[in-house]
Amino acid sequence: DADVTQTPRNRITKTGKRIMLECSQTKGHDRMYWYRQDPGLGLRLIYYSFDVKDINKGEISDGYSVSRQAQAKFSLSLESAIPNQTALYFCATSGPGDTQYFGPGTRLTVL
C-alpha cells in the first residue's frame, strides 16, 4: 500500500462549489504539506502543518483552507472554487531527515 494517499485522484467541479481534497499517510510523520503544480511554474506551497495543532500558511493560501484532523490526515478545502484553481494538487509528508514523500496527486478542474 502507498504511504501517502490522496482522494479523489481526479475531480471536475463548477465555479462556486465547495470541494475537499483529502490526504492520508501511514509513515507516522508529523509534518504534512499541500502544494499545487501548474505547467511551467513548478510547485507552490499552499499550507503546511508541523503537527496537529500547528498549521501555517504557505505562499498561496488565499482561497484555500486546511484541516489537520489527526497526525495521519490533512485535508485541503476550496470554499468557493474558481477556474484559476484548476491545477494538480499534491500532498506531502516529511519526517526525520527531512525527506519529503509525495502523494500521487489530485487533478482538479474547475469549470
Residue whose CB is less far from another protein, 12 or 15: 12
Within 10 angstroms of residue 37's Cβ, the number of other Cβ atoms is 15
Question: CA 51, CA 53: separation in Å to the nearest integer?
Answer: 6
Q: Which is nearer to another protein, 14 or 44 (by Cβ)?
A: 44
Residues within the interface to another protein (CB under 8 A): 33, 40-45, 48, 56-59, 90, 92, 97-105
Q: How is 11-31 classified by DSSP, letter by letter?
A: EEE-TT--EEEEEEESS--SE
Minimum distance from residue 72 beta carbon to another protein (Å): 18
3-state class of 33 per DSSP? strand
Is there a contact between 18 and 81 (Cβ–Cβ < 8 Å)? yes
Q: Which CB, 17 or 101, lies closer to another protein?
A: 101
Q: To the nearest whole angstrom, how small is the minimum distance from the Cβ of residue 41 to another protein?
A: 6
Q: Smallest gap, in angstroms, from Cβ of residue 13 to another protein? A: 21
What is the smallest separation between the CB atom of 25 and another protein, expressed in angstroms?
A: 13
Nearer to another protein, 18 or 44 (CB): 44
